[in-house]
């Protein structure tokens, strides 16, 4: 799948999804940080075909915006990573809503461009698109809105800098899954905003 990188490409994919709207069971709206975009974009993320009721982020076709890497000799991770942000960076202050950060893991970034989205303020480099989805209190996924934008910019930028500063973690594929899918193991961290749960799973 072609990675939508520039604003024009993001618009093209967005309009293509909207034209195909009747064929999808539903949509959720999230923020996309495309590698060549001037700013974050609000994009439609389709439900996977066959999903009648959205149960979790796993029911969304995130690959429309964060495609898996194409197989090659320099790619070691063919999956897409996810991490959940529950509190402010470097604090225990809980957020009003949880956010899912969907990204290409460092082991799968060989074919992706450095992310130069104008809304990011990270000091570390990051390759590939980043998609952010919002968890509701009564629904598994709710649409992002304008009021989320500054906070999400901060969360994503802080996460990129955290991973960049912790080189020993970059070969971990960090995923968020339902609690029932995990044992009691957690990756301890001093970042504060993240509950990191580790599992290998090709999404």
- pLDDT tens series, the chain, 203 aa: 567 889 999 999 888 888 887 778 889 999 999 999 999 999 999 998 888 888 888 899 898 898 776 666 555 555 677 888 999 988 888 999 999 999 877 655 555 688 899 999 988 888 889 999 999 888 899 999 999 999 999 999 998 888 776 644 444 444 433 333 333 223 333 333 344 333 323 33
CA 32 vs CA 40, 45, 79, 131, 184: distances in Å? 6, 10, 18, 5, 32
Return the H-helix or E-strand segment holding 7. helix 7-19
132 neighbors 30 (Cβ within 8 angstroms)? yes
Instruction: Work out the burial of residue 83: count CB atoms within 10 Å of its CB; fewer than 13 is exposed, 13-18 middle, 19 or more buried.
Output: buried
CA 9 vs CA 5, 80, 98: distances in Å? 6, 20, 28
């Amino acid at each position: 799948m072609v990675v939508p990188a520039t604003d024009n490409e993001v618009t093209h994919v967005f309009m293509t999804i909207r034209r195909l709207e009747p064929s999808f069971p539903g949509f959720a709206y999230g923020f996309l940080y495309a590698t060549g975009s001037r700013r974050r974009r609000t994009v439609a993320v389709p439900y996977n075909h066959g999903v009648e009721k959205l149960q979790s982020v796993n029911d969304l076709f995130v690959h429309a915006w964060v495609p898996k890497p194409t197989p090659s000799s320099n790619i070691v991770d063919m999956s897409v990573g996810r991490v959940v942000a529950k509190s402010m960076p470097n604090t225990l202050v809980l957020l009003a809503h949880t956010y899912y950060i969907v990204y290409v893991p460092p082991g799968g970034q060989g074919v992706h461009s450095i992310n130069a989205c104008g809304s990011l303020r990270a000091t570390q480099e990051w390759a590939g698109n980043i998609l952010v989805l919002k968890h509701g209190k009564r629904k598994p996924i709710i649409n992002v809105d304008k009021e989320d934008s500054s906070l999400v910019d901060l969360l994503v930028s802080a996460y990129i800098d955290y991973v960049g500063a912790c080189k020993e973690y970059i070969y971990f594929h960090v995923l968020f899954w339902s609690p029932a899918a995990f044992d009691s193991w957690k990756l301890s961290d001093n970042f504060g905003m993240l509950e990191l749960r580790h599992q290998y799973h090709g999404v």
